[in-house]
Amino acid sequence: MIKITPEELKTITGYIHDISGIHLEASKKYLLETRLSSVVEEHGCGSYQELYQKAKRDARKVIEKQIIDAISTNETLFFRDNGPFELLRNKILPDLIDARTPRSPRLKTPLRIWSAASSTGQEVYSIAIVLKELLNDISKYNIKLLGTDISDAAVKQASMGKYNKFEIERGLTRDKLNKYFTLSGGFWKIKDEIRAMANFRKLNLMLPFAGLGKFDIVFCRNVAIYFTLEDRKKLFNKIADILEPDGYLIIGSTESLTGICSRFTPKRHLRSIFYQLK
């Protein structure tokens, strides 16, 4: 494994922050080495400095993407921490449907949901499964379910909806697995009816949310923890901008908005917390 010098550590962590918003402390030296040394070798570079120079010159941003894929954490699972999905099923969706259902039965009920750091898609598909089970006839709804992530590789896997046995056995019951996935070539693939409900695209949460539109529900779980306090403030402020006045924000179960964004107020439902605009 190629060792990183203190100067390189500064350069590389600065660069990673610029391209992804991910803030790495100097103590994450070992993480950088384990995740990046193969990228350094692959591009025939002798050092991290050389990789950095090469990445900066690379107009196609191939190296930049590889660095993001290598550094971003894709720890996720289906129905990770059941609380938010119970919240969605028992509180948020029923309330939203009450508020959004048009008077005319010919019009569809709009529901716009965004998973801001969708990783390899498990959260989005868990949401889709909840929607499908709760709403019965989803054709009566105009559903926009968007998943975004900084990593191209994660977005690609999410789009394919294809999981190996280690990814699949975590969080999914046998019943849900059989109902919503098909086994092919040793992989489980999400069924088309669920896949068709979702869209995935790459998004850097540090950049403006131009063109995203407004949302009724935003999931932004366990991603802001990788950002600096300043970047977190900016992020949740931008989320407040794109959330409907009566919309819902769900953050990670060990995250907090105290001292980060005063535009939200926390509300408790059973054992979970959600946020709404003041």
Contacts with other proteins by CB under 8 A lie at: 81, 83, 165-166, 168-169, 174, 183-186, 253-258, 262, 265-266, 268, 271, 273
Q: How far is the CB of 255 from other proteins (least distance, A)?
A: 7
Burial of 85 (0-12, 13-18, 19+ CB in 10 A): buried
Q: How far is the CB of 266 from other proteins (least distance, A)?
A: 5
Q: Which is nearer to other proteins, 137 or 175 (CB)?
A: 175
Q: How far is the CB of 34 from other proteins (least distance, A)?
A: 17
Q: Which is nearer to other proteins, 48 or 227 (CB)?
A: 227
| 8 Å CB contact between 74 and 106 | no
| 8 Å CB contact between 252 and 222 | yes
Q: Which is nearer to other proteins, 102 or 266 (CB)?
A: 266
Rounded distance between C-alpha atoms, residue 160 and residue 26, angstroms:
36
Q: Which is nearer to other proteins, 58 or 169 (CB)?
A: 169
| 8 Å CB contact between 55 and 15 | yes
Rounded distance between C-alpha atoms, residue 229 and residue 231, angstroms:
5
Three-state SS for 103?
coil
Q: How far is the CB of 171 from other proteins (least distance, A)?
A: 10
Rounded distance between C-alpha atoms, residue 64 and residue 52, angstroms:
9
Find how far residue 266's CA is from the centre of its chain: 21
Q: Which tokens in the block code for residue 154?
A: 């994660």
Residues listed for the chain: 278
DSSP state of 81: S
Q: Which is nearer to other proteins, 58 or 255 (CB)?
A: 255
Rounded distance between C-alpha atoms, residue 223 and residue 157, angstroms:
18
Q: How far is the CB of 103 from other proteins (least distance, A)?
A: 35
Q: How far is the CB of 265 from other proteins (least distance, A)?
A: 6
Q: Which is nearer to other proteins, 164 or 199 (CB)?
A: 164
Q: How far is the CB of 273 from other proteins (least distance, A)?
A: 5
Q: Which is nearer to other proteins, 62 or 270 (CB)?
A: 270
Which residues, 6+ apart, have CB-to-CB distance to 213 below 8 Å? 112, 144, 242
